[in-house]
């Protein structure tokens, strides 16, 4: 049995976060890039800020803290997008 991948967000001081109505602007200081994110991406970053999580633990954290439900394919897709954008690291 393989261990599921874990994901982590950058340290809080690497991100400047500004909510903008339905979107959230996130400036990633290390890359100098600003990203506009829709829910649940900002919540995923917040949930991963404390410690790296695997997708199941992340889904549970999102459900508990933000009342974001779902997981599986949708969560995997969001994580993939955040990894591609450089905002989340796969461990």
Q: Would you give per-residue pLDDT tens digits along the chain (91 residues)?
A: 677 899 999 998 999 999 999 999 999 999 999 999 999 899 999 999 989 999 999 999 988 887 766 667 788 899 999 999 999 999 9
Q: Any idea what the Cα angle at residue 54 is, between residues 74 and 10, rounded to 5°?
A: 90
Question: Which tokens hold the place of 54?
Answer: 């695997």
Q: Global pTM?
A: 0.89
From residue 88, alpha-carbon distances to 1, 8, 29, 51, 78 in Å are: 25, 6, 14, 12, 10
44: enclosing H helix or E strand: helix 41-49
């Amino acid at each position: 049995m393989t261990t599921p991948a874990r994901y982590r967000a950058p340290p809080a001081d690497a991100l400047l976060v500004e909510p903008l109505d339905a979107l959230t602007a996130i400036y990633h200081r290390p890359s100098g890039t600003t990203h506009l994110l829709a829910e649940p991406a900002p919540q995923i970053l917040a949930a991963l800020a404390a410690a790296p999580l695997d997708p199941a633990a992340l889904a549970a954290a999102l459900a508990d803290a933000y009342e974001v439900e779902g997981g599986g394919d949708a969560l995997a897709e969001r994580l993939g997008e955040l990894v591609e954008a450089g905002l989340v690291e796969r461990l």
